[in-house]
Chains A and B, each alone.
Chain A
Amino acid sequence: MSDVVIRARGVQKSYGSNYVLRGLDCDVGRGITGLLGPNGAGKSTFMGLVLGLRPRQGGALHVLGTDPDQSGAELRSRLGYAPEHHDLPGDVQAADLVRHIAQLHGLPRRAATGRASDALWQVGLGEERFRPIGTMSTGQRQRVKMAQALAHDPDLLLLDEPTDGLDPVQRDDMLALIRRVGREFGIDILLSSHLLEEVEQVCDSVVILTNGVVGHSGTLRDLGSAAAGMRVELDSDPRPLAAALADWGAEAVVDGHMLTVTGVTPEAAASDLIRDLVADLGLGLRRLEPRRTTLEDVFIEASR
């Protein structure tokens, strides 16, 4: 299988005259990829295009090597999808629903029955599989959605806000399950979310959408190794140091006793400069460390 699961080039989608995606370019690789963006950024629309539910107005889109507009039905048999909403038919048993969806994805009845049971065990609902969904908690329903998306053994799993409505314990359990599906089961995942923290916890890569275009995309490992200045903590007011750094062309942002310094490269030179200025000013230095780019930094930058 190719290392690129989803390839989008100049993808456009509008509803009437309102363009939701305005020439989206991105490569979603293998592993777990977070699709981040504020509400209205186009995340659900992009998922809809990946599923082939809507035709796009322009650009090229390939999912698992095929164009969703050309071979939607065949492609969808290889995709698993867990929607955002919590409503599932309340009077249907979890096992019946999962088996039904597996059959719709092409599995013969006997195989679908067996795999529905297995999928419900995998998501931790083995003992509850014959309960009507209406009697289940929000966390259990989210797991049912995960099970129905998994049962037919998809190549790519699309999860839309999978932790929405969960309490912190349920949320951690769900994130652990997503990690397990991505790492142990070997299924590639595109996880749509607006929560940076959960994307940082489980994802290998991230695609940040903003105003219908990709504001940033890349692996979280690259993100974490990218330097973003120096962080200085003093035991007194850091403003004299900030002023001294400004004379050297550095930008320093004061936050209590902390100072974030950017604009001096390389890292070693910045470190030496700050150390010398602190000594010259007779200040007490508590901490001096390189500052790494966080997902939040990138998200804020991309959203501007």
Chain B
Amino acid sequence: MTEARIHDRGYLAYDGPRHGPGRAMVNLSRHTMQRVLGLKRSNWQKVLPALSLLIAFVPAVVFIGIAAFLPQGEELELNSTVNYYGFITGALFLFTAFVAPEAVCTDRRSGMLGLYLASPLNRDTYLVAKFAAVAAILGAMTLGPPLLMLIAYTLADAGPAGVTGWLTELGRILASGTALAVFWTALSLALSSLTPRRSLASVGIFVGLLASSAVGDGLSAGAEFGDSYALLNLVGLPFEAVWRIFGDQQFDAPISSVDTWEIFATLVGLIAAFGAFARWRYQRIQVPG
């Protein structure tokens, strides 16, 4: 029997189905999420995203455990959803400043942006796909733990009273989690669009958030220019919005005396401004070459 080998497979034309730009956006979002989370990358690249997710989910697991193993009839002051966001501020901060810039900076540094824009994607669809990828992970952090807690508390008979109360709580969680994810994503993309270097973007976001916090609190509480200046605190603003969504307000903070409509208007305005800035930046980036 002779031994047959194929040495050259030749070139075959492709005449199968082709998807449009919508599927390309989905593919880019999925690929971006994998990269941001460090999947298929070195262990070192997985540390920060894993830490962010751990900080976001571990408190919820602990609270659920307490609720589950609480002896029948024993009363416990369970942690409220609105308080939970206080526990995960660090996780959101860590992810926004040190993990999310990977979504866009590396594409510019490695020249992948040129390849992406030579595909059916354009600058707008590229940005939307990147936004969706980062927002999805942040959304998992802001929505996942409170939803898990809601379900677990309900099963442990410690959830909101009645169907209306339960649905109200669900709506508030969805609104709060979405607002936080969208705000931090828009902020991260806007500042990351300034540089192709991830480390510079991280420092920029970190310093920018700290500076806004110092300026906002300094002008409102320190210099007593007025409580509205507390809106400049980009760390405090979205969390105060969450408190307002839950019909409450932070205790003893200058922003707590600002009208709810002002808080929501500022939040929406900032999200729009960050998005518009990122788009403006990407319209001006030269590719190819």
* A residues at B contact (CB < 8 Å): 44, 47-48, 51, 53, 72-74, 76-77, 79, 81, 83-85, 87-93, 96, 100-101, 103-108, 111, 115, 118, 121-122, 148, 152-153, 158, 160, 184-185
Contact = CB atoms under 8 A, between A and B. Distances in A.
A77 B119 contact: yes
B257 to A, nearest CB: 49
A101 B116 CA distance: 8
Contact of B120 (A77, A81, A111): A77
B288 A107 contact: no
A53 B112 contact: no
24 contacts: A44-B289, A72-B122, A73-B21, A73-B120, A73-B122, A73-B125, A76-B119, A77-B120, A87-B110, A88-B111, A89-B112, A93-B40, A101-B119, A104-B27, A104-B121, A105-B24, A106-B20, A108-B16, A118-B12, A121-B9, A122-B9, A160-B288, A160-B289, A185-B11
A51 B41 contact: no
A103 B34 CA distance: 15
Contacts of B41: 91
B114 A85 contact: yes
Contacts of A81: 114-115, 118, 288
A101 B11 contact: no
Contact of A153 (B14, B27, B122): B14
B287 interface: yes
Contacts of B201: none
Nearest to A52: B122
A83 B114 contact: yes
B281 interface: no
Given A48-B288, A73-B122, 17 more contacts: A48-B289, A51-B117, A73-B20, A73-B120, A73-B121, A74-B120, A84-B289, A85-B289, A87-B111, A90-B110, A104-B119, A104-B121, A107-B14, A107-B18, A107-B19, A153-B13, A185-B11
A96 B40 contact: yes
Interface string B14-38: 1011111101100110010000000
Contacts of B111: 83, 85, 87-88
B42 interface: yes
The B interface is mostly helix, strand or loop, or mixed, namely loop
A122 B12 CA distance: 11
Instruction: Identify the 9 closest CB pairs spanning chains A and B, nearest first.
Output: A106-B18, A153-B14, A81-B118, A104-B119, A73-B120, A44-B289, A185-B11, A85-B111, A89-B110
Contacts of B120: 73-74, 76-77, 104-106
A134 B90 CA distance: 33
Given A51-B118, A77-B120, A104-B28, A152 B14 contact: yes
B197 to A, nearest CB: 13
Nearest to B19: A106
B106 interface: yes
Contact of A108 (B17, B42, B110, B116): B17
Nearest to A154: B14
A96 B34 CA distance: 12
Nearest to B26: A103
A104 B27 CA distance: 7
A79 B117 CA distance: 12
Interface string B268-289: 0000000000000000000111
A106 B119 CA distance: 9
A180 to B, nearest CB: 9
The interface centre, meaning the residue of B41, B106, B112, B116 with most chain A CB atoms within 10 A of its CB, is B112
Contacts of B18: 77, 105-107
B283 to A, nearest CB: 10
A87 B21 CA distance: 25
B288 A111 contact: no
Interface in B108-146: 109-112, 114-122, 125
Contacts of A96: 40
Given A72-B122, A104-B121, A106-B120, A48 B11 contact: no
Contacts of B122: 72-73
Contacts of B45: 91
Contact of A84 (B42, B121, B288): B288
A87 B17 CA distance: 31
Nearest to A15: B286
A2 to B, nearest CB: 18
Given A53-B117, A118-B9, A184-B11, A104 B16 contact: no
A242 to B, nearest CB: 46
Contacts of B289: 44, 48, 83-85, 160
B101 to A, nearest CB: 15
A103 B27 contact: yes
A121 B9 CA distance: 9
Contacts of B20: 73, 77, 106
B9 A91 contact: no
B132 to A, nearest CB: 15
Contacts of B19: 106-108
